[in-house]
Structure 1
Amino acid sequence: MTELVHGNADPRLRKVVAALALNIESGAELGASIAVDLDGETLLDVWGGHADAGRNREWSRDTIVNVWSLTKTVTNLAALVLVDRGLLDVHAPVANYWPEFGVNGKEGVLVRHVMSHTSGVSGWDQPWNPEDVYDLERATHQLATQAPWWKPGTASGYHDQSLGHLVGELVRRVSGKSLTEFVRTELAEPLGADFQIGARESDYERIAEIVPPPPTDFDVNELAPDDPMRKTFSSTIMDASEANKVHWRRSELGAANGHGNARSVARMLSPLSRAGEVNGVRLLRPSTIDLIFEEQARNVDLVLGIPVRWGIGYGLPEPATLPYIPDEKIAFWGGWGGSMVLAHPERGLTISYVMNKMADGLIGSDRSEAYITAIYDALGRS
């Protein structure tokens, strides 16, 4: 390791360590962690930098951070576990499990539509105060009663924060547990992963401070009033500093407020790369994992405005948008500001990266591109 980066690394991944150290030294990174798991062997588990903007707290082995939309990968994993248990069917109507949802044109919305951002319910109808997403009961009820913004199943439109409420309610209806409790008791604890939806007060001291991305000149209100991008982002919280506040940490936002580090994110997603079983704990059968790779949409996403390819619950490689992710059987997604997780079943490979200094964009960054490229260069490409 170096003076700036701590942990353990396979010699093949020394360039990844060097890249992280360089980014910390230059200030491109404030604090970050990267992990690589290959068939159950930890090839990389490194961290460095600082956990606060004032650089008074070092990023330690057990530092955790709000991982933004990486949370969606865990929330959809919870749904897949219920699918594997025969309690949820991705091809069944949502209304089978949540009758109140089947109104105003949503009668035919399937579970897979919700998990793959094609349900048409990508945000909340106005009038709506974005901070009302913290009121889980009210926010979920409104999603159940409103009409879809486009014909379900015909195109994707990123469910920026609504996915957590929608899938979370399915988890609650089917399992009897809140999403927070289900993730803790059925996923994180069995896997030994330091990951949680929201954050316990006892963990606040080890949470890294989020540093928001640079301001942008883009104004969503300049779009047409009926544009799904405008409707989605005007109904959700877009102030990244909210993640540093107590009410954010106390809430259940299954699309946005998961807390963990690269090690725990990799552990949570490694069942997708390892035929569903990790350290004797089986969460999924291979046939359930195969569902992820059933393509649901491939279009310029109506909310993100870029080409995106969706399987059931996860992004699939789209070279037009993220050419550094191999165009193979990979399930992935990124968090606002640049964090990323990839599950590569055919290689038994799981890669994760999280940080607290946010870059521009909702999916990936120059930093995540550099790390992932260096990892695949070191391990060899198919």
Structure 2
Amino acid sequence: MSATEIGGRCDERFTEVRDAFEAVVAGDAGGASAAVFLDGEPVVDLWGGYADQAQDRAWERDTLTNVWSISKTMTNLCAIILADQGELDLHAPVARYWPQFAAAGKDAVEVRHLLSHTAGLPGWDEPLKSPGDLYDWDRCTGPLAAQRPWWEPGSVSGYHALTQGYLVGEVVRRITGQSPGSFFAERVAGPLGADFHIGLPAADDDRVADVFNLEGLAVPPELQEMSDKVFGKPNVLADPSRTVSTRAWRAAEIPAGNGHGNARSVATVQSVIACGGEVGGVRLLSEKGVQAIFDQQIDGVDLLLRTPVKFGMGWALGYGGSPFTGARTCYWGGAGGHMVTADCDNRLVVAYMMSHMKFGGRFKTTGDERFGAIVKAAYHALNRG
């Protein structure tokens, strides 16, 4: 298929989503995939554009890409599953499962604080020296267990951009004996048939679209020290192509940032939430288990994102001023434009994954105009009936 063509299928009711996606791809330097699932079934499954910055490879049906913080929703889902099965108490101290975590006054920090970015551990006191440190599980988890929170846990959110995956992932590992990537593959992706990976096998390298950032990522001087501690040195988001395209990055388990998938696989997994815990005859959560996600933990201006956000258990919750405003709608995005929203009331999921990262002058994980056009078209089509 030529990169100028749009591949996939779209139900007649949702043709305006296809129109929106075609316009997005036509005006972009990279490629993308978009999916809309209703009642757990794909009504839109589209892809197009380029899988590399040089524009030599077309984005195909099974193309994958690094989806950055969309990975958090997959890791957090593992914790929600364990909670639903009675193996994890979201209101219990983290130290119940990870005794070393009680150090430096963290004995009262609860699992819910990890899931809502309120634990006060958004970065490492001693910044990571290279991206390679992210591949060392003990190097990332050990210092977090030992250090003191940067603020009173539970009082405010401060986006745990990379640390959330290690924190939640270590709790999952302590309970199950499995790494978060292995647990996800066995208990989520496998049963659902979802082509999403936290730790990508080398055999899949040829399917990966390279992410790239044409505009860089400017960090205000007053936030530079914190940025170093949160993202490490150097910041992998500033020039991702040098790191994210390597085998070492893809093979590692960085549960908050190196998940590989596409819109179809992301929408498949997130439909578990939108459809009350069951998709395609596979039940991963009870209705009560799904509802735990919507237990609001914090509402205010996030210290790092510098924007208002409501966090539940592992996802942000629907807010005014966007199409996803419902009381039972949750969402999150990945750096540069990836985005997914799950709407329980409409049993709807909209997902958009792409290769060309855009920041608009600041770090954010709430999508951009590309996803905005697609999700608005999806809701317009849904409401038009």
Corresponding residue number in structure 1 for 2:373: 370
1:23-67 residue CA offsets vs partner (Å, 9 max, x unmatched): 2223x2521111111112211011111111122211111001100
Deviation at 1:381, TM superposition (A): 8.0
Matches within 5 A, 1:148-297: 148-216=149-217, 218-223=218-223, 231-234=229-232, 237-239=236-238, 240-241=240-241, 242-297=243-298
SS of the aligned residue for 1:113 comes to: helix
2:83 alignment counterpart: 83
Deviation at 1:297, TM superposition (A): 0.6
In structure 2, give the amino acid aligned to 1:310.
F
CA distance in 1, matches of 2:334, 2:189: 19
| 8 Å CA contact 1:294, 1:311 repeated in 2 | yes
Q: Distance in 1 between matches of 2:288 and 2:323?
A: 28
Distance 2:306 2:162 in 1: 17
Q: For the structure 1 residues 336 and 224, does the alpha-carbon distance in structure 2 shift closer, same or farther, using more than 3 Å as the test? A: closer
Q: 1:138 & 1:234 partners in 2: Cα distance?
A: 13
Computed over aligned residues only, the root mean square deviation of the Cα atoms, in angstroms, reads 2.0
In structure 2, how many angstroms separate the alpha carbons of the residues matched to 1:204 and 1:224? Answer: 34
Q: Distance in 1 between matches of 2:221 and 2:384?
A: 43
| Distance in 2 separating the partners of 1:262 and 1:45 | 8
Letter in 1 for 2:106: K
Decide whether aligned partners of structure 1 residues 174 and 13 sit closer, same or farther in structure 2, where only a CA change above 3 A counts: same
**Mapped partners of 1:144, 1:43: distance in 2:** 44
- Once the two structures are superposed, what CA deviation does each residue of 1:198-238 show, in whole Å capped at 9, x if it has no partner? 2110000000011114124x33443385xx56642456643
User: Cα distance 1:237–1:53, how it changes in 2: closer, same or farther (>3 A)?
Assistant: closer
**2:95 equivalent to 1:104:** no
**C-alpha distance 230-53 of structure 1, shift in aligned 2 (>3 A):** closer
Q: How does 1:67-82 map to 2 (within 5 A)?
A: 67-82=67-82
Which stretch has the larger CA shift, 145-154 or 40-49? Answer: 40-49
Structure 1 window deviating more from structure 2 (1-10 vs 359-368): it is 1-10
Q: Which amino acid aligns with 2:364?
A: L
Letter of the aligned partner of 1:232 in structure 2?
Answer: V
Q: Quick one: distance in 1 between partners of 2:342 and 2:326?
A: 13
Q: Is the 8 A contact 1:266 1:350 kept in 2?
A: yes
TM-aligned CA deviation for residue 172 of structure 1: 0.5
| SS of aligned partner of 1:103 | helix
Q: Work out whether 1:54 is the aligned partner of 2:29.
A: no
- What is the Cα deviation at residue 150 of structure 1? 0.4
SS at match of 2:237: coil
Q: Which moved more, 1:104-113 or 1:17-26?
A: 17-26
- Could you tell me the TM-score, scaled by structure 1's length? 0.94
Q: Is the 8 A contact 1:232 1:303 kept in 2?
A: no
CA distance in 2 between partners of 1:8 and 1:127 (Å): 46
Which AA in structure 1 matches 2:374?
A: Y
1: distance between equivalents of 2:84 and 2:323?
31
Q: What is the match of residue 335 of structure 2?
A: 336
Structure 1 Cα separation of the partners of residues 43 and 224 of structure 2? 48
AA partner of residue 293 (structure 1)? F
Letter in 1 for 2:158: G
Q: Hey, what's the Cα distance between the residues in 2 that align with 1:249 and 1:157?
A: 27
1:95 paired with 2:95, answer yes
Contact 1:121 1:149 in 2 (8 A): yes
Shift of 1:327: 4.1
Q: Distance in 1 between matches of 2:62 and 2:96?
A: 41
Give the equivalent residue in structure 1 for 2:147: 146
Structure 1 residues 128 and 48, CA, compared in 2 at 3 Å: closer, same or farther?
Answer: closer
Report if aligned partners of 2:127, 2:232 keep a CA contact under 8 Å in 1: no
In 2, Cα distance between equivalents of 1:35 and 1:48? 12
Q: Kindly tell me the number of residue pairs found equivalent between the two proteins.
A: 376
Residues 4 and 259 of structure 1: CA distance in aligned 2, closer, same or farther (over 3 Å): same
For residues 120 and 381 of structure 1, do their structure 2 counterparts lie closer, same or farther at Cα, with a shift above 3 Å needed? farther
Q: CA deviation at 1:128?
A: 3.5
In structure 1, list runs of 5 or more residues that go unmatched.
none
CA drift of 1:305 comes to 0.8
Per-residue deviation at 1:245? Answer: 1.6
Q: Which runs of 5+ in 2 are unaligned?
A: none
Give the whole-Å Cα distance in 2 for the aligned partners of 1:24 and 1:128: 36
Normalised by the size of structure 2, how large is the TM-score?
0.93
Q: Distance in 2 between matches of 1:29 and 1:329?
A: 35
